[in-house]
Chains A and B, each alone.
Chain A
Amino acid sequence: AQSVTQLDSQVPVFEEAPVELRCNYSSSVSVYLFWYVQYPNQGLQLLLKYLSGSTLVKGINGFEAEFNKSQTSFHLRKPSVHISDTAEYFCAVKENTGFQKLVFGTGTRLLVSP
């Protein structure tokens, strides 16, 4: 079964600084990878996804992530964060064989301060 690890529970950063949120996964088969964002008291929105093809994936709000198969990682990056990026970010993995459930990591809270 697949699993996801987000080692950082919280990442504080100053406005306009770059940020990287780490995600590692485990699976015995090929996977699809996702990053979702959750603003306070709301549901989740898809930021970006990797299904196949180019390993560098660009998403909404200036975020991007790179799929690294050898390191089983899918880290999320943004070159310059805004206050409005303060939210909880979830990495998720899904095996690409039939109907498989989406498995979420424990989340990383990004705190952007002025």
Chain B
Amino acid sequence: DGGITQSPKYLFRKEGQNVTLSCEQNLNHDAMYWYRQDPGQGLRLIYYSQIVNDFQKGDIAEGYSVSREKKESFPLTVTSAQKNPTAFYLCASSYPLVRPSATNEKLFFGSGTQLSVL
């Protein structure tokens, strides 16, 4: 079955440590996204990538980094510069914009990673 896989489901970070959240999709989507979810604040966009080897900052990119070396993978690193990393992180993907279909506006989400600070 096609879908988006996020791992791990739960992750703990020590102070000063960098941690990497994995996101893999087998939907053949070009675009991928990382969102952060905090209670009462909805979803905020961290980074997004429209195509391999290219990515752009979202609204809250500070303290995070990403890479897009493969179409299927869009890992997110939470660096030590992110002082308040505790949150639920969601990865998503979508069809490329050039696809002439109404379904290209739909985001497909992974099941999320809960990151907590020790």
Q: Could you tell me the distance in whole angstroms from the C-beta of A94 to the nearest C-beta in chain B?
A: 7
- Complex Cα distance A16/B78, Å? 44
What is the interface size of chain A, counting residues whose CB is below 8 A from a CB of the partner? 23
Residues of A within 8 A of B33 (CB): 101-102
Most buried by A among B35, B42, B112: B42
Most buried by B among A32, A44, A105: A44
Do the beta carbons of B106 and A46 come within 8 Å of each other? yes
| Residue B97 CB within 8 A of the other chain | yes
Residues of B within 8 A of A (CB): 4, 6, 31, 33, 35, 40-45, 48, 50, 58, 90, 92, 97, 102, 105-107, 109-112, 114
Residues of A within 8 A of B58 (CB): 101
Query: Which 7 residue pairs across A and B have the least CB separation, nearest first?
Result: A43-B109, A106-B42, A104-B43, A104-B42, A44-B109, A43-B111, A43-B110
Q: Which B residue sits closest to A42, measured CB to CB?
A: B111
Q: Could you tell me the distance in whole angstroms from the C-beta of B51 to the nearest C-beta in chain A?
A: 10
| Residue A114 CB within 8 A of the other chain | no
Do the beta carbons of B40 and A49 come within 8 Å of each other? no
Q: Could you tell me the distance in whole angstroms from the C-beta of A76 to the nearest C-beta in chain B?
A: 15
- Complex Cα distance A106/B37, Å? 9
Residues of A within 8 A of B107 (CB): 36, 44, 46, 102
User: A93-105 CB contact bits vs B (8 Å, 1 = yes)?
Assistant: 0100011011011
Please report which residues of chain A, range 32-78, place their CB below 8 angstroms from some CB of chain B when the two chains form the complex: 32, 34, 36, 41-46, 49, 51
